[in-house]
Amino acid sequence: MNQQSAPLAGNNTERWQSLDSAHHLHPFTDPKELKENAARIIESAQGIYLTDSDGKEYLDAMAGLWCVNMGYGRQELIDAAHNQIQQLPFYNAFFKTSHPPAAELGALLAEVTPAHMNHAFFTSSGSEANDTVLRVVWRYWDILGKPEKRVIISRKNAYHGSTIAASSLGGMADMHKQGGIIPNIVHVEQPYWFGKRCELGSDLDPEEFGREVAQSLADKIEELGEDRVAAFIAEPIQGAGGVIVPPDSYWTEVKKICAQYEILFVVDEVICGFGRTGHWFGSDLLDLKPDLMPMAKGMSSGYLPIGGVMVSDRVADVLVNQGGEFNHGYTYSGHPVCAAVAAANIRLMQRENIVETVRESTAPYLQKRLGELGDHPLVGEARGVGMLGAIELVEDKANYVKFNKDRRAGTICRTHCFDNGLVMRAVGDTMIISPPLVMQKSDIDVFFERAWKSLDQTHKDLKQ
Ligand SMILES: Cc1ncc(COP(=O)(O)O)c(C=O)c1O
């Protein structure tokens, strides 16, 4: 340890900011802009509140990064990590070995996921889970003697992670610009009604729009030829793309299309899984029948990095009984400490009936208050499902006119939120929330007051 990195007593904000600025390259950040502003240093957290290194408190309406579902400081999860790290800090799952946490977690996941999903392949993140999806999909069709089935259809503006495979599966144009996309991945329209309504500047029936967008999937399969299409991948509700809640007609149609064609259906549950929508999985809410379900984040409430892919019986049967060795895996697949914490997290969710509480009590209240934010003159639409929400900032509410990007409405609003002790994320000019599931109604009122105040301040700034 050199002198500069030795710990100091007292307030160290400036020190951490300067060390961070000198040595830490941040994800999804303009490093030059960060250097000019200095990072906010979050030092501790409890429940749904964060505390920064100057002692300022924030209501964390993003649950970290859509993940701290059971809130900060849960002793059960701390104990699970502590006990497991003493017992067996690491062992792998290669070479015909396993360990109790991985075995227990696989069984627990089989219990809480849809009935036809009973096998888990473990990873350390959602991105690795989606890399695994690609490997499994291609392997499945190879084993079945259909190696020409290679193309995976995804959606524009989807987010499936940041490795080369996951970012290719995702539909984020800015990511593709910086790394291209791997072959055999194509993207169809997203069911973003509000965006389309603003773009058109005229009325647009949501259900008709939902059907049209769904049809673009069928059209793409026809265009490519069913014999070349391996899978369709989608988030139940697009998260990082701006919490896109599709019109009801969308999933009704997409389900039919997935059933009609011989393709695998991959439902990315990295955000929607583990109670986020008021159901264990987004697939339960929407009655989807996935063949593969990548997951991460809420699996361990973000306490330790773990993810995985739940594999349906139909796919597992081919992999297990017909496939031979699957040449895929990670050193940390099913890491015992991460797996023990994930298992403790799921048991904690079950013990506290958190999914039911969200569905029956807190989510309806959050959605009600979110709807009230929709009355603000700066808000063109407030939408959400369960403990997910989006607030669209617009220049002209009556006529569905968005701000010019240069006005940076979302960034201004996010800064006011921070100043007012609230963490909301800005996706362009869409403010999004995904708070911890343990948020109480009184916390929701605090959220509403801080959000309304921040909207007022943003409105004032943008009028000048
Ligand atoms: C739907 C979805 N899939 C995959 C990922 C990637 O997960 P990770 O950041 O753990 O790699 C994310 C991350 O936000 C996500 O939202």
Q: Is residue 6 part of a domain?
A: no
Asked whether residue 161 falls in the same domain as residue 308, the answer is: yes
Give 120-171 pLDDT, tens digit per residue. Answer: 999 999 999 999 999 999 999 999 999 999 999 999 999 999 999 999 999 9
What CATH number is given to the structural domain containing 168? 3.40.640.10
- Within-domain flag for 32: no
Do 152 and 225 lie in one domain? The reply is yes
User: 282 and 154 in one domain?
Assistant: yes
Is 41 within a domain?
no
| pLDDT-wise least confident of 8-12, 106-110, 359-363 | 8-12
Considering only CA atoms, which of 192, 195, 190, 277 is closest in space to residue 234?
190
Residues 358 and 418 in one domain: yes
Measured from the CA of 272, which atom of ligand 1 is nearest?
1
Ligand 1 nearest atom to the CA of residue 127, by list position:
11
User: Does a structural domain hold residue 207?
Assistant: yes
Residue 464: its pLDDT value, please?
82
| pLDDT tens per residue across span 380-408 | 999 999 999 999 999 999 999 999 999 99
Same domain, 226 and 88: yes
Say if residue 132 is in the same domain as residue 229: yes
What CA–CA distance (Å, rounded) separates 365 from 387?
Answer: 10
pLDDT tens digits for range 38-50? 999 999 999 999 9
What is the distance, to the nearest Å, from the Cα of residue 363 to the centroid of all Cα atoms in its chain? 18
Give the residue among 330, 340, 343, 293 at the shortest CA–CA distance from 122: 330
Query: Which residues form the domain of 400?
Result: 47-70+353-463
- Shared-domain flag, residues 417 and 336: no
What's the structural domain count of the chain?
Answer: 2
Nearest residue by C-alpha to atom 13 in ligand 1: 161
* Closest residue CA from atom 8 of ligand 1: 126
Claim to verify: residue 127 and residue 201 sit in the same structural domain = yes
Contact 261, 93 (CB under 8 A): no
How far is it, in rounded angstroms, from Cα 308 to Cα 243? 22
Point out the domain boundary residue: 305, 325, 351: 351
Q: Are residues 340 and 360 in the same domain?
A: no
Atom of ligand 1 nearest to the CA of 269: 1
CA-CA distances (angstroms) from residue 413 to 28, 195, 336? 19, 19, 41
3-state secondary structure of 386: coil
Query: What is the 3-state secondary structure of 56-75?
Result: CEEEECCHHHHCCCCCECCH
CA gap 443, 455 in Å, rounded? 18
Per-residue pLDDT at 7 exceeds 90: no
Write the CATH number for 428.
3.90.1150.10
Q: What tokens appear for 363 in the block?
A: 């989510």
Contact assessment for residue 48 and residue 424, using Cβ atoms and an 8 Å cutoff: no
Query: Hey, which of 124, 133, 271, 427 would you mutate to test ligand 1's pocket, going by the most ligand atoms within 8 Å of its Cβ?
Result: 271
Integer angstrom CA distances of residue 281 from 109, 266, 359 = 11, 13, 12
Chain segment 291-347, per-residue pLDDT in tens: 999 999 999 999 999 999 999 999 999 999 999 999 999 999 999 999 999 999 999
For residue range 422-463, what is the model confidence (pLDDT) as tens digits? 999 999 999 999 999 999 999 999 999 999 999 999 999 999
Q: Residue 180: which pLDDT band, with cuts at 50, 70 and 90? A: confident
Whether 153 and 276 share a structural domain: yes
Do residues 316 and 429 both lie within one domain? no
Q: Which of 28, 159, 272, 277 to mutate to test the pocket of ligand 1 (most atoms within 8 A of CB)?
A: 159
What pLDDT is recorded for position 181?
Answer: 93
pLDDT digits (tens, 9 = 90+) for 54-110: 999 999 999 999 999 999 999 999 999 999 999 999 999 999 999 999 999 999 999
Pocket of ligand 1, beta carbon within 6 A: 125-127, 130, 159-161, 235, 239-240, 268, 270-271, 296, 307
